[in-house]
Amino acid sequence: MEAAPERFGRGPERLEAFSDSVFAIAITLLVLDIRLPDLTEMSTADQIGRALVALWPSYVGYFVSFITIGNAWINHHNLFRFLGSVSHGVLISNLLLLLAIGFIPFPTALLARTLGGPGEQIGVVVYAATFFANALAFNLLWVQVKRVLKPGSPPAAIAAINRSYRLGPPVSLGALVISFAFPVAGLAIITGLMILYLLPRSTGA
Amino acid sequence: MEAAPERFGRGPERLEAFSDSVFAIAITLLVLDIRLPDLTEMSTADQIGRALVALWPSYVGYFVSFITIGNAWINHHNLFRFLGSVSHGVLISNLLLLLAIGFIPFPTALLARTLGGPGEQIGVVVYAATFFANALAFNLLWVQVKRVLKPGSPPAAIAAINRSYRLGPPVSLGALVISFAFPVAGLAIITGLMILYLLPRSTGA
Amino acid sequence: MEAAPERFGRGPERLEAFSDSVFAIAITLLVLDIRLPDLTEMSTADQIGRALVALWPSYVGYFVSFITIGNAWINHHNLFRFLGSVSHGVLISNLLLLLAIGFIPFPTALLARTLGGPGEQIGVVVYAATFFANALAFNLLWVQVKRVLKPGSPPAAIAAINRSYRLGPPVSLGALVISFAFPVAGLAIITGLMILYLLPRSTGA
Amino acid sequence: MEAAPERFGRGPERLEAFSDSVFAIAITLLVLDIRLPDLTEMSTADQIGRALVALWPSYVGYFVSFITIGNAWINHHNLFRFLGSVSHGVLISNLLLLLAIGFIPFPTALLARTLGGPGEQIGVVVYAATFFANALAFNLLWVQVKRVLKPGSPPAAIAAINRSYRLGPPVSLGALVISFAFPVAGLAIITGLMILYLLPRSTGA
């Protein structure tokens, strides 16, 4: 079949809108995980105060998840600036990335609840594996976007994204392997990687 | 009443934005169904590990639902490229489609939990019925869209969508009937249909 | 303070996007209310089948809520075609409307669970009261929109919306009063009003 | 690296769409917190009525949260009218604001459940602290937006926003301090501040 004329092409607007909504929902859902204890059974302010303090892993989970997903959204936003047209490969690989993003609330909640306890190693391993899956998905999407680059995309920006994304899979795989033996070291590597991605340099901006 | 002048016409933008949000919410909600067990009662890493493995039907449900709804979104996106104007029929039939889409998390969760157990047949039947309802709703919407096609829509693309959509209702009805007797066969047919719709050929692109 | 120049004015795009998201979330949330029973305790297909049938009020609730909110979205969409600029009054009255829309899942769930039982009257009264609040909010928003109409809005369409909206508050107030004594009659009136609003004539299109 | 040409710049559209979704989700989630009691165990209309009345703190929480977040959205909307381009600082500070906004359902639910009981002081303190965090985040975002103002932004509007935002942190910090000793007074101050922000004057409109 011949290509449809330009005005029937798929613009990035709806793909961006759909992706933005998935990012937004995933980022906001974790507040649901901060479950208020049953206050009707508590008769003193002291009891209520201690019950709220005991929820700290949920607060940590909310914060970490927000930064992780927000950071991924910023990178997604940067990536799509160079998207020339929406190919089927971009649609499918973007869906796989959203699959990995939408899953983040689960390992984050698991990590927040296992840190410092007997399940710490499991929590970090699952978290590192999710991070690895996200790094793979971002690279897959980037490969697809590069096939349909907007004409005239500045080579320096493309090269900066290349450099920054190339780092993700091996480093997070390394963190995954290391966290089987040394969970805290694995977590430190992931945290470092996340800070790196938060810096403006990594976005090709 | 005479038709309102062009600039008071309903463009597809808001209809797309509303639909995108419904798709995005339905696709992200299933992560809420992966409920962390109460880890505070578990004292060894082994117990925690086994509790996480026991959640596998929820992981499967999340994955299948994501692909199903993401696929539906891609098809919806393709369809709307040829929409010329927003008629009342398009509004109503799009609402019916969203009704069917928004319901998907329920039969998916049911399927994931009944596979391999005594409720397997019920799980597949409900899932096939939902798939049938979605196929009907997509065809109803397509009928309405074809009444208000964008002028100059390429006939080859329209014909490709016709061919691909025409297949949906009879095949999924067949899968529904078959799954009363042979659940696994019914599921295989639906899976095949879903893979077909994931291929670029079916979208008229 | 003088009015800001035109290019710093508030366009309707973000107000529409925000409203669309609230409508979409409210419409999709009710699927969460269809809670799967604990299937692990059921050993026969028969038990599982009966447990699924027992969920019928949740299915009804999902359906009714979807049609109600989807219908409200269609009317909101129609209304905004004639919006010329975004005044503070439009912002505030739109927020009040969203407050009423976002509440709908609650009375709908209540209605679905009380129909046919001892709480039927309460369920219908709360539902009718919510419907009345929505009718008031739509009229308040319409008053604000009419102050900032797009120049050249066709008078016939404006008059059609006037006629259709004017009906909402007295009829739903009547349904509310009647349902204290005759719940079924109150429900019939609301259903009739909802069907009326689903017809294309009422939208000024 | 040189700046990318204009057409690869980040426009505010996606940042607005992402933010709008987060606001919309946070504002709609609280209806989930109004949990229907188990009506199947109630045999008289009287019991059901009393159970619904007992939910009043959830109704209050829904209302207060809706107004708070809706108000924040209106202010966000006003702010972005003057945004000239999307810097990395705007992205990061907007993410921090959304972090604070997305958290609001939690302290609101806590406040609604502790008012009038032994935990009242705790509820007001946590609520005031969240309000303070939101005021700080709005000011941080405003600082970043002012660095990339749209050329020609009317100075009077900028000054009005300056005046209105400057008030937020000290007043809500005052409310926080006061509510340790006099919870009701702290709540009154916050309510006053919220009404002030609801007025059109504060938005630079």
Span D3-28, pLDDT tens digits: 444 456 667 888 888 898 899 988 88
In a domain, D1, yes or no: no
* C1 domain residue, yes or no: no
Instruction: For Cα atoms C190, C192, C194, give the angle at the middle one, nearest 5 degrees.
Output: 70
Domain coverage including residue C31: 12-203
* Rounded CA separation A18/A21 (Å): 5
Residue in chain B nearest C153 by alpha carbon: B8
Could you write out the DSSP letters of every residue in B110-164?
HHHHHTTSTTHHHHHHHHHHHHHHHHHHHHHHHHHHHHTBPTT--HHHHHHHHHH
CA distance D190 to chain C (A): 19
| C-beta atoms of B91 and C82 within 8 A | no
**Closest-CA residue to D107 (of D54, D169, D186):** D186
**Least CB-CB distance to A22: which of B27, B32, B154?**
B27
Q: Using a CB-CB distance cutoff of 8 angstroms, which residues of chain B are in contact with residue A9? A: 81
- Closest by Cβ to C154, choosing from B4, B10, B22: B4
CB-CB neighbors (< 8 A) of D2 in chain A: 154, 156
Which residues of chain A register pLDDT less than 70?
Answer: 1-10, 40, 200-205
| Closest chain C residue to D74, measured at CA | C91
Nearest residue, CB atoms, C16 vs list B14, B99, B105: B14
D3 within domain boundaries? no
Pick from D123, D131, D187: which is nearest to A42 by CA? D123
Q: Which of D39, D101, D202 to mutate to test the interface with C (most CBs of C within 10 A)?
A: D39
Subunits adjacent to chain A (3 or more Cβ pairs under 8 Å): B, D
Q: Verify whether the Cβ–Cβ distance A121 to B21 is below 8 Å.
A: no
**Does C17 score more than 90 pLDDT?**
no
Lowest-pLDDT choice from B43-57, B81-95, B127-141, D34-48: D34-48
Which one of B20, B40, B77, B203 makes the best mutation probe of the A interface by having the most chain A beta carbons within 10 Å?
B20
Q: Which tens digits make up the pLDDT trace of B86-109?
A: 888 899 999 999 999 989 888 888
Phi, then psi, of C124 in degrees rounded to 5: -70, -40
Looking at the predicted structure, is the pLDDT value of residue B200 above 80? Answer: no
Q: Please, are residues B104 and B71 in contact by the beta-carbon 8 Å criterion?
A: no
Distance CA C28, CA C62 (A): 9
Residue D78 identity (one-letter amino acid): N
Cβ contact C154–B5 (<8 Å): yes
Name all chains with 3 or more CB-CB pairs below 8 Å to chain B.
A, C
Task: Please check whether residue A2 lies inside any domain of the structure.
Answer: no
**Cβ neighbours of C185 (radius 10 Å):** 12
CA torsion A107→A110→A115→A116, rounded to 10°? Answer: -150
Residue B37 lies in a domain: yes
pTM: 0.86
Instruction: Tell me whether residue A185 is in a domain.
Output: yes
Task: List chain D residues with CB under 8 Å of C90.
Answer: none
CA–CA distance, D41 with C119 (Å, rounded to integer): 12
Q: What is the mean pLDDT of chain B?
A: 84
| Amino acid type, A93 | S
Q: Does residue A162 lie in a domain region?
A: yes
Instruction: Please report the number of interchain residue pairs, chain A to chain B, with beta-carbon separation below 8 angstroms.
Output: 111
Put simply, the answer to whether D109 touches A36 (Cβ < 8 Å) is yes
CA distance D126 to chain C (A): 24
The residue-averaged pLDDT of D164-183 equals 90
In chain C, how many domains are there? 1
**Cβ within 8 Å, pair D42-C119:** yes
A-interface mutation test, from D22, D85, D147, most A Cβ less than 10 A away: D22
Complex ipTM:
0.82
pLDDT digits 0-9 by tens, B118-150: 888 898 999 999 999 999 999 999 999 999 998
Contact check, Cβ <8 Å, C70/B25: no
List the beta bridge partners of residue D149.
D83
For residue D32, the chain A residue with the least C-alpha distance is: A32
By a Cβ cutoff of 8 Å, what residues of chain C touch chain D? 1-2, 4-5, 7-10, 14-15, 17-18, 21-22, 24-26, 29, 32, 88, 91-92, 95, 98-99, 102-103, 105-106, 109-110, 113-114, 117-119, 121-122, 126
- Inter-chain CB proximity C117 and D39 less than 8 Å: yes
CB A20 within 8 A of CB D17: yes
Average pLDDT over residues D76-101: 90
**Which one-letter DSSP state was computed for residue C81?**
T
% of chain C beyond a pLDDT of 70: 91
Q: Is residue B1 situated within a structural domain? A: no
Position A143 scores a pLDDT of 94
